[in-house]
């Protein structure tokens, strides 16, 4: 008889189901342990040089888990530093290359504090701006724009998981709708190239 293989995700699901049956202190300990394991898995993905989008599902889990943690996970000072530096880089950016430097800072912040919703909002806004700068009729730029708009949509979805205020949620949803339109427009233009 072959042994049953249970993944970490299944263990966490069962732990979450059981949380309602155990005291609050024990719930906190379980959530903290789950959070630590998720962070460890994310670090492993990052270190293996996989794409940022390869960690999307894990980032979702980390954000949702952090919402239930009491106290909420603290924001590392280095992540805060990268957010501030990214905002400054975005403010002075005049080209796609300069915008990519801002996006890199925001991605570093999201890697250090993957539950930090503002990092994903900043990534999305930077991706949209970068796509707008290169949204001309060349095939390469259309492909780039399509990918940047798609990337922005994913980042905005992660931001929405972090439970921003209703007003900020509405603004983020508006950005998603606009990015979807622009992405689809780029796709249509790409079809004409074939």
Of 21-25, 35-39, 97-101, the poorest mean pLDDT is in 21-25
Of 31, 49, 68, which marks where a domain is finished? 68
Lowest mean pLDDT among 3-7, 10-14, 96-100, 102-106: 3-7
Q: Does residue 108 carry a pLDDT above 50?
A: yes
Q: Is the pLDDT of residue 68 over 90?
A: no
Per-residue pLDDT, 6: 44
Considering the domain architecture, whether residues 185 and 101 belong to the same structural domain is answered as: yes
Are residue 101 and residue 125 in the same domain, yes or no?
yes
Which range of residues forms the domain containing residue 117?
Answer: 77-193
The better pLDDT of the pair 27, 13 is held by 27
In whole numbers, what is the pLDDT of the chain averaged over residues? 84
Same domain assignment for residues 50 and 98:
no
Instruction: Give the pLDDT confidence of 109-122 residue by residue, as tens digits.
Output: 999 999 999 999 99
Residues in CB range of 9: below 8 A, 6 or more apart: 61
Based on the domain organization, do 36 and 109 belong to the same domain?
Answer: no
CA separation for the pair 110, 37 (Å, rounded): 17
Residue 177 lies in a domain: yes
**132-148: average pLDDT:** 79
Give residue 8's pLDDT: 58
Q: Is the model more confident about 159 or about 69? A: 159
Q: How far apart are CA 86 and CA 102, in angstroms?
A: 4
SS3 for the chain is CCCCCCCHHHHHHHHHHHHCCCCHHHHHHHHHHHHHHHHHHHHHHHHCCCCHHHHHHHHHHHHHHHHHCCCCCCCCHHHHHHHHHHHHHHHHCCCHHHHHHHHHHHHHHHHHCCCCHHHHHHHHHHHHHHHHHCCCCCHHHHHHHHHHHHHHHHHHHHHHHCCCCHHHHHHHHHHHHHHHHHHHHHHHHHHHHC
pTM reported for the whole predicted model: 0.80
Task: Look up the CATH number of the domain holding residue 177.
Answer: 1.25.40.10
Indicate whether 154 pLDDT > 70: yes
pLDDT at 169: 97
pLDDT band at 13 (very low <50, low <70, confident <90, very high): low
Averaged pLDDT, 159-177: 97
């Amino acid at each position: 008889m072959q042994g049953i293989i249970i993944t970490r995700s299944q263990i966490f699901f069962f732990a979450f189901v059981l949380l309602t049956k155990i005291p609050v202190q024990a719930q906190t300990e379980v959530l903290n342990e789950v959070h630590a394991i998720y962070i460890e898995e994310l670090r492993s993905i990052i270190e293996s040089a996989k794409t940022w989008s390869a960690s999307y599902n894990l980032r979702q889990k980390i954000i949702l888990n952090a919402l239930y943690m009491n106290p909420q996970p603290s924001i590392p000072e280095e992540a805060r530093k990268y957010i501030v530096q990214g905002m400054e880089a975005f403010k002075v950016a005049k080209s796609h290359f300069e915008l990519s430097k801002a996006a890199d800072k925001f991605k570093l912040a999201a890697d250090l504090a993957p539950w930090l919703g503002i990092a994903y909002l900043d990534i999305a806004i930077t991706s949209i701006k970068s796509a707008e700068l290169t949204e001309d009729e060349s095939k390469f730029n259309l492909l780039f724009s399509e990918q940047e708009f798609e990337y922005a949509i994913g980042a905005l979805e992660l931001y929405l998981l972090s439970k921003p205020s209703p007003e900020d949620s509405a603004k983020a949803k508006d950005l998603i709708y606009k990015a979807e339109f622009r992405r689809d427009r780029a796709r249509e233009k790409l079809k004409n190239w074939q």
